[in-house]
Structure formats: C-alpha cells, structure tokens
Copies of this chain bind each other. A is one copy, B any other.
Amino acid sequence: MVSIKDVAKEAGVGLGTVSRVINKSGPVKDSTRVKVEKAIKALNYKPNEVARSFKMQQTHSVALIIPTLWHPFFSKFAYHTEKELAANGYKLIVCNSQNEAEKEINYISMLEKNKIDGLITITYTHDLDQYISSHLPIVSIDRHFTQDVVYVTSDNETGGKVAVKELVKRGSCELAYLGSVSAIKNESVKRVAGFKKEAELHRCNYHTLVVEEPVKDIYKTVLRFLEDHPKVDGIFAMNDKWAKIIIRTLKELGKNVPQDVQVIGYDGITSSKDEELTFSTIKQPVPDMAAQAVQALIKIIKGKETEQKIVLPVTFFEGNSTRSEKQG
C-alpha cells in the first residue's frame, strides 16, 4: 500500500509538507505544491489513506490566545472552548498574551511547525496581520484580519439596534452611547453604528461619547459626560464594565435607575456559572461563539470548506436597569 512517506520521497519533500498540501493546513510554495500533487497522482495515493496518515501526525491540540484568562468574558469563552474541543478529542492550550505581540507570534510559529493543530485568537495587538496567513488553521474572534482569516463574532450592529429599540419601547428618547474605541479594527465599533441607525429611525435625539483606548479613568469620563448631558434618559454602554460605572455614577448624581435614566450594557457575562445577571444588557452568545469557532477550526484542520465570517445573534436580557414595558 502506498504511504504518505512514499509520496514525500517521490516529491523530494518532508512529510509535513505533504500533509500541508493534502490538508491545505499550512503555507507551501506553489512549485512545491505542484511537485507533491504530481507525486500523489503518479503513485495513485488514496484519500482515505491520506486521512489515516494525517491523523497519525496530528497533535490533537489547539491553542487559544486571549489577552488574559483572569477576566469573565475570556474565562467563560475559554471554558466553553475547552468543552467543545474535548468533545471532539482535542486538548486546549491556553496563552495569556497580555497584549504582547511577541507571545502571539510565538504561537503562530508553533502552528507553522505543526506543533499544534490550530489556533483560536482573541487579539487586539498591532502588526499581527503580517504573521497571520489564511493558509494556516486559524479562527479569529471579533477581529477582522486583512487576510481571509475565518472569524466569529456576535451581531454587534443588531445589538446596538436592539438596545435602542428596548430603550424607546420603555419610554426613553433622549439617548446616549458611551464607550471607547481601539486603534485595532474590531467588531465592537458596529455597536455604535447600530445605535445611531436605530436612534435616527425613531427620530430620537442622541449623543455619542467614544474615547480612544486606553482610557485612563472611565469614571471621570462618564461623570463629566453625565453632568454635561443632564437631559439624557436612556444610555447604551459599549460593554457591561461601562454600564456598571454609568449606573453607579448616575446614582451618585442623585438620579434614579431606571426611573430617571435607563441603562443597557453589552456582554451579559457573569464571572461564574452560579452568579446571576442583575442589570439590563445585550447578551453575547458565548457558548455558541466558542462552539462555532471550534467547529470552523476543525473543518479547516481537516481541509473542509467553512464560511469566512460567522455572525451569531444576540439577545436582550431584561434586568433592573430598564423599566418594564408598561411603565415605559
């Protein structure tokens, strides 16, 4: 029976190269690819044998790069990623990048050397695009790379629209969006875009405060904004961290939440399974985002087709920072 070794010998290349060509799982020069494909034809090497040989070479491990594990969103995402990987026979390697590109590049290099099978990244560092290749099995969360790297995101624009809809339905029409923006393109800018579109649709007044990251003192920024805009009666915050600070600051200013001002956050992540959400927010479908990222990655590892962009629906969670519809 013809083996992958025979193909490698015939083509005059290494086993890893043959595997990458067959599985489209890594960078290969065009001339090399042609050599390998010729060898496969010449030897009449069969696909099911390919699958078996390839399987032998896999590490059955996938790395997840996140800024830090010590954070509710990332720890919840990592938790669900590990669950989904384990169910599919893969181990999870975790890397806290702490936004250091060097540590991230190191993992991309491990991937190129077939020391790991795939990579899921949540990253906001600069200059990573040149290292990321659409030939590598990589799935990105929220961030859009210039290369055609597959990415998974929650539906941020609809999230912004839903927040406005819920605020208006409950009686607010002097609206504000408060948040920050990173120099790295990511999907969260669509939250404010959705907010604006929907506010215009309802002919509501609206204000936006978008501060460049890193934000030194969110609290002071929020306080100044609220003092300058006393008429605002409905706020959409870029995430739950901002929402919590906004709610606290409103109370300090003697405003009643939700009677005087309604607030809706974004994320809807508690710090553990046992904890409950309290205030109103747009919930990201974290378990589904993790599962879909893993499923897309496994498809790429196995050389199958997958969608380039996976957008998952968000939901409104009704907490204690919005009024009931009747009250509104």
- Report which A residues bind B (CB closer than 8 A): 61, 63, 68-72, 74-76, 78-80, 82-83, 86, 91-96, 103, 241, 271-274
Contacts and interface: CB of A to CB of B under 8 A. Distances in A.
A241 B69 contact: no
A69 B61 contact: no
B82 A94 contact: yes
A101 B78 CA distance: 21
B103 A72 contact: no
A271 B72 contact: yes
Contacts of A79: 68-70, 96
A86 B70 contact: no
A273 B75 CA distance: 13
A18 B70 CA distance: 39
A57 to B, nearest CB: 15
A96 B82 CA distance: 7
A70 B61 contact: no
Q: How many copies does the complex hold?
A: 2
Contacts of A94: 78, 82, 92-94
Given A92-B93, A93-B93, A274 B68 contact: no
Nearest to A91: B93
A271 B71 contact: yes
A95 B92 CA distance: 7
Contact of A75 (B61, B71, B86): B71
Contact of A70 (B75, B91, B103): B75
A92 B92 CA distance: 8
A271 B271 contact: yes
Contacts of A61: 93
A82 B103 contact: no
B70 A96 contact: no
29 contacts: A68-B79, A68-B273, A69-B75, A69-B76, A69-B78, A69-B79, A70-B78, A70-B79, A70-B80, A70-B271, A70-B272, A71-B273, A72-B271, A72-B272, A75-B78, A78-B94, A79-B96, A82-B94, A82-B95, A82-B96, A83-B96, A86-B103, A91-B93, A92-B94, A92-B95, A93-B93, A93-B94, A241-B274, A271-B271
